[in-house]
Structure formats: structure tokens, C-alpha cells
């Protein structure tokens, strides 16, 4: 093995004048990355309740519930989601979309359960 004593010094001096390859993330939030798969968004107006997204989800992170006549809500368990976007690809009416939201870290696992859509209206009569 031949050692060149000045080779490491040459590399060190050369790297001082190069632009850094990383960004200072919390302080410098660069724009969204193209085709990035973040949190899934749900458009209730487009959903027809076919539940294909539930069937195609490899981690069983989606639940579609009926809340009214032709109205549905979607519940996502982001702790289970692997952000593969299979549900978005399989939705025939494009009711699901990928957002750029990726800052989802939580200490409480229950905060990672997100429900989109209307809540069912109470059917119990109110007392006058």
C-alpha cells in the first residue's frame, strides 16, 4: 500500500470551498419535493363509498364509514400508514390525494388518528 502524505490535506482544502450537500432543515424549509408521498387527504364530495382504498391498503390504515345518504367519512390511522399511496392510485373517483405534509411525529399515538368528513347526526330525539 503506497501512502501519499499530502492527499488527505488536498481533499480537506478542496472541501472547504464546495457548497454543502445538506440543508439546515428546521431553519431552511425548502419547497416541496415532486412526487413526495406525505399525509393522505380526503375529498368527501368525490367519495362514492366503494371502499376500494380500504381493500388495497397493505397496512389497513383506512376506514370508510357511511354518515348519511351518499356521504362518507374516512378515518386514517397514520401510525399504521406506510405512505405508499396505493389508496390514492386505486381510488376511481380521485377522492384521495397525497399532500406534502410530512411533519407528523407525535408522542401520543392517538393524535395520529385523523378523520375527514362529516360526523353522523344524532338520531336520538332531544327533550323539549
Mean of pLDDT values over 29-55: 87
**How far is 49 from 123, CA to CA, in rounded Å?**
22
d(CA 6, CA 57): 56
Domain that holds residue 69: 32-116
Is 7 inside a domain boundary?
A: no
Is there a domain that residue 124 lies in?
A: no
pLDDT for 34 beyond 80: no
Residue 127 pLDDT > 60: no
Q: Cell numbers at residue 44, please?
A: 368527501
What is the average per-residue pLDDT within 101-108? 87
Which CATH number goes with the domain that contains 57?
Answer: 3.30.70.3270
What's the confidence (pLDDT) of residue 10? 82
Mean of pLDDT over the chain: 84
Instruction: Name the one residue in this structure whose C-alpha cell is 395520529.
Output: 112
Q: How far apart are CA 61 and CA 88, in angstroms?
A: 13
How many domains is the chain built from? Answer: 1
Say if 107 falls within a structural domain.
yes
User: Phi and psi of 97, rounded to 5°?
Assistant: -145, 155
Question: Domain for residue 26, yes or no?
Answer: no
Evaluate whether residue 51 is within a structural domain: yes
> Which grid coordinates belong to 53?
382504498
Amino acid at each position: 500500500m503506497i501512502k501519499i502524505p499530502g492527499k488527505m490535506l488536498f481533499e480537506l482544502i478542496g472541501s472547504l470551498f464546495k457548497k454543502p450537500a445538506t440543508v439546515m432543515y428546521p431553519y431552511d424549509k425548502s419547497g416541496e419535493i415532486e412526487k413526495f408521498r406525505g399525509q393522505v387527504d380526503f375529498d368527501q364530495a368525490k367519495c362514492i363509498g366503494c371502499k376500494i382504498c380500504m381493500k388495497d391498503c397493505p397496512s389497513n390504515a383506512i376506514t370508510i364509514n357511511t354518515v348519511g345518504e351518499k356521504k362518507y367519512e374516512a378515518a386514517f390511522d397514520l401510525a399504521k400508514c406506510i405512505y405508499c399511496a396505493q389508496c390514492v392510485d386505486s381510488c376511481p373517483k380521485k377522492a384521495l390525494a397525497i399532500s406534502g405534509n410530512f411533519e407528523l411525529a407525535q408522542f401520543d399515538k392517538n393524535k395520529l388518528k385523523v378523520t375527514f368528513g362529516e360526523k353522523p347526526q344524532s338520531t336520538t330525539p332531544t327533550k323539549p
